Structure 1
């Protein structure tokens, strides 16, 4: 069965050399109910944030996605140190006034000036916006390609595991169905025996009221409807895994329905073999639920 299951967990990284500069883009994705994007990059690149997020949506439908952009060197981003000369003049003037007012001795050194706050600022010089855009977007595209490949590889492993557990669950439901028929017949016989022991000799087993009570008692322990619905849920799960796109939330819903049915079966049955099968089925469903949490 050739199906495409994609994991929400993955990591992609790409590096581009631009002259003396080095651009690194990293993309990390983890589980999330919806698509949640976050970017961390130099402030002068924030104009690219919307474009980058749109590009991510071409590759990813669901998950928490963090994008990290780091730049080394000066080919893409050039930094320039600026001095606030007006603020320097004010500092020097007021320091001299303090010295004169209190008749202080000593001279002002460069060490004092460099310790004064807000005198120096590092400014990033704007580069060719279109050139920067192309380099970063191309590098992000490469990182997303790596990420997508890893998510698909992880998805293949999830699919194989889920198919195995689906097969196991189907076998357990078949056991429940087989045992249900035996238990149902045995239950009827026990009810019949108990009635014959306790009713008066002049009562007949065919009495309408007695038959109604027998039917009600038998129905309380009957799991045929739950077994039928379990088969339907298993089939729906298998069909959903064959679909394209974001299927994780739908699979999670189907698993919840399976869990509800198996709990009902457990509460209805007093048969030891059915109870053992229920425990095994619950275990498989729990493992399926854990795996489904990772699917996009």
Structure 2
């Protein structure tokens, strides 16, 4: 089953007075590259999120974004130590009066709030923190699941495209085989004419001639290349249907296909076949481009 490296998934979960929206975006990349945009208060959970992404999405450039909104009763994490601030204000007022100064209460409050221990930090509730994390984790898992489903849909489209491109190459290979039948007699005629010319030459060397004949027979023969190309095309389709199909293997097969196409073009020495080779190369470039986007 093919999976594209391009995907998107979004999920929103509401529970315990907390609304969590998680978004996962993926693009193609040689390796797994993860970027997490999460609140600082959960920075210690980034490793856990990265492990979850690694297990589910395998490969690609992945961006995770988290947005948290409190919808229930909200208590500030930092509160004013009112009794101590009141004592500070009383002391400041008496000091000002002793110096025959009149200071507004607003100014006294501002000064009192700047004094040591004027604020109380509430210790976090471990149970509430664990409950919130479960909500966050649920949203992230659902976003990843939807992103993976998106990748599978894109993979199905790629699968169809690959089969279309491979079939186009196979059709042109069939045309090459038909043209090769007509090409051989033309090559034979040219070689026979060359033989007649050589035999009529007084300096004709039979051993040299046999070596040249074998060389040209091997040079013009594309039988093995046609068989190998057909095999590679069939193997490409076979890999597509495997559960462990992956872009790296498909790209390697595409390189082998390209090698056989190039060899056919260089050995055929035939204009119609050269035209078909160019068309096959065009289809192969489409395959190579798409394999870069397969996991």
**Counterparts of 2:73 and 2:32, CA distance in 1:** 30
Sort the Cα spacing of 1:274 and 1:82 in 2 relative to 1 into closer, same or farther, 3 A: farther
> Is the partner of 1:33 in helix, strand or coil?
coil
**Counterparts of 2:124 and 2:77, CA distance in 1:** 11
Contact persistence 1:13–1:24 (CA under 8 A): yes
Contact persistence 2:8–2:150 (CA under 8 A): yes
Sort the Cα spacing of 1:54 and 1:163 in 2 relative to 1 into closer, same or farther, 3 A: same
- 1:148-207 per-position Cα deviation (integer Å, ceiling 9, x unaligned): 1111111111111111111111111222233234323321221112221342288999x5
Contact persistence 2:16–2:132 (CA under 8 A): no
How many residues align? The count is 263
> Which residue does 2:163 correspond to in 1?
163
Q: Which blocks of at least 5 consecutive residues in structure 2 are unaligned?
A: 81-105, 112-118
Contact persistence 1:78–1:126 (CA under 8 A): no
- 1:212-270 per-position Cα deviation (integer Å, ceiling 9, x unaligned): 31121222222223222211221221111112235111111111222222222222332
- 1:62-100 per-position Cα deviation (integer Å, ceiling 9, x unaligned): 2111111111226699764689xxxxxxxxxxxxxxxxx
> Which residue does 2:147 correspond to in 1?
147
CA shift, 1:280, in A, is 0.6
**Counterparts of 2:122 and 2:144, CA distance in 1:** 28
CA shift, 1:10, in A, is 0.7
**Counterparts of 2:75 and 2:190, CA distance in 1:** 89
After superposition, residues 1-296 of structure 1 pair within 5 angstroms as 4-73=1-70, 80=77, 126-127=124-125, 128-200=128-200, 207-245=206-244, 247-296=246-295
Contact persistence 2:18–2:132 (CA under 8 A): no
Query: Considering only aligned residues, what root-mean-square deviation do their CA atoms show, in Å?
Result: 3.3
Sort the Cα spacing of 1:77 and 1:52 in 2 relative to 1 into closer, same or farther, 3 A: farther
CA shift, 1:19, in A, is 4.1
Superposition TM-score, scaled by structure 2 size: 0.77
Task: Report which of the two has the higher share of helix.
Answer: 2
Q: Which blocks of at least 5 consecutive residues in structure 1 are unaligned?
A: 84-108, 115-120
